[in-house]
Copies of this chain bind each other. A is one copy, B any other.
Amino acid sequence: MHRATEPTMNEFLTIRDAAAQIRAGKLRPQELLEQCWARIERYEARVRAWAYLDPDGARRQADQLTAELQQNHYRGPLHGIPIGIKDIIDVFDMPTGCGSTRWAKSFARADAECVRRLRQAGAIILGKTVTTAYASFDPPPTRNPWNLERTPGGSSSGSAAAVACGMCLGALATQTGGSITRPASYCGVVSLKPTFGRVSVAGVLPLAPRLDHVGVMALTAADCGIIFEAIRTAAAPPYGIWQRLLEPSDFAPPGLPEPAMAAAFAEFRSTTAARDWQWHTHTLPPSFADSRHNQYLLMAVEAAAYHGERCARYPDDYPPYVTQLIRDGQNCSAADYERALQHHAQFQAEIDSSFPEGWDTLATPASPGPAPAAETTGNPAFNTPWSYAGLPTLSLPIGWSPEGLPLSVQLIGRRHQDEMLIELAQRLEATVAIMRPPLPL
């Protein structure tokens, strides 16, 4: 079915629209929550986006937040907004299952810092969204809501699928390689992977602490911005006006992007160019060539440091891909690791200085193509360099493949210019007017 030809669009409320209705007294948090529950009841048996749901707890939160509104206490745009939390991030008194069987009943004694901030901003914490085992590459039980035979991507599989189904209006996710951008792209939702360090990882399972990022998924860039504003820890440097884009040319592996993505990306470029967005082909610094290899080494060695002994002791708790990652880390020599660390520092400096004056953002495909079959979590080739760089990225759906699957662009910002990236993405959304067809489920 070719979704692009069916114009019944945008069936789910955005955070911004829901917040406006809540603030105006036209929608109670309790009602919004029940809308989300109705969608969970409708889709969850097939999509399996959730590792743990807390209906009773969510209703208590909604009751309290509704009561606060009746007393004219409005916390801000997240007041009463249902949010899902990736299952490697601690939520008080919910399990942090981490995609592990042994840890599946490990109830957290405190909220992770990012969750504490969300709660304080008035968000309703619905439950925990499925992660691949230890946020690595093994396929999760979750399916892509646009096609149940396809992967939702990983590792933030449940967060992407849940937002795509309107089960929650936003979700927290994490990325070490491509674990935010890729599932968001495959599921047709917007994602923000902030600058490294802009969101605290306290209370989050580490995979590779030099590369781990907490980020956000929602239906629009504005919604990502609303959540990011609540969870960001460091203040942003001031930023100026910008309206220009750079386009990468030299880092896609052979055969990437696939034809559907290449067509969508070209159309995105021409549509935006027709509305006065300037484009320029950008050459990446020489150190870019080795970024993927070294990103993998850092991830593998840090994963081995955390998981190595545990994986040897409980091999049944580790599916094949993450086991391989840990083994690769264990087999890496200290000399190779040291070279990777040196490359990491050099690459970060070079990539920062390679942004030409006045050109503030790179655009690339967010994934090689639409979501592949559910036996993998897809190829993170377009995402890992930016996790490794620590630069902020935002992914935005730009169209639909012939078989009705979403395709997204990835915007890459300057370090610490996350807020600028969100603002740019909002202008792009307004420019290209991406419409979201109804789910086929």
Binding site for B on A (CB under 8 A): 56-57, 60, 93, 95-96, 98, 102-103, 105-109, 205, 309-310, 313
Q: How many copies does the complex hold?
A: 2
Contact A93 B310 (CB under 8 A): yes
CA distance A106 to B90 in the complex (A): 12
Contact B96 A102 (CB under 8 A): no
Residues of chain B lying within 8 A (CB to CB) of residue A96: 109
Residues of chain B lying within 8 A (CB to CB) of residue A108: 106
Select from chain B the residue with minimum beta-carbon distance to A109. Answer: B205
CA distance A96 to B90 in the complex (A): 15
CA distance A96 to B106 in the complex (A): 9
Residues of chain B lying within 8 A (CB to CB) of residue A93: 102, 310
Report the minimal beta-carbon distance from A87 to chain B, rounded to whole angstroms.
12
Contact B105 A109 (CB under 8 A): no
Select from chain B the residue with minimum beta-carbon distance to A64. Answer: B309
Among B102, B107, B313, the residue within 8 A (CB) of A102 is B107
Sorted nearest first, the 10 A-B pairs with minimum C-beta distance are A105-B105, A106-B106, A106-B107, A103-B107, A109-B205, A93-B310, A102-B107, A105-B106, A96-B109, A103-B109
Among A57, A103, A106, A108, the one with the most B-chain Cβ atoms within 10 Å of its Cβ is A106
Select from chain B the residue with minimum beta-carbon distance to A205. Answer: B109
Select from chain B the residue with minimum beta-carbon distance to A57. Answer: B313
Residues of chain B lying within 8 A (CB to CB) of residue A103: 107, 109
Select from chain B the residue with minimum beta-carbon distance to A310. Answer: B93
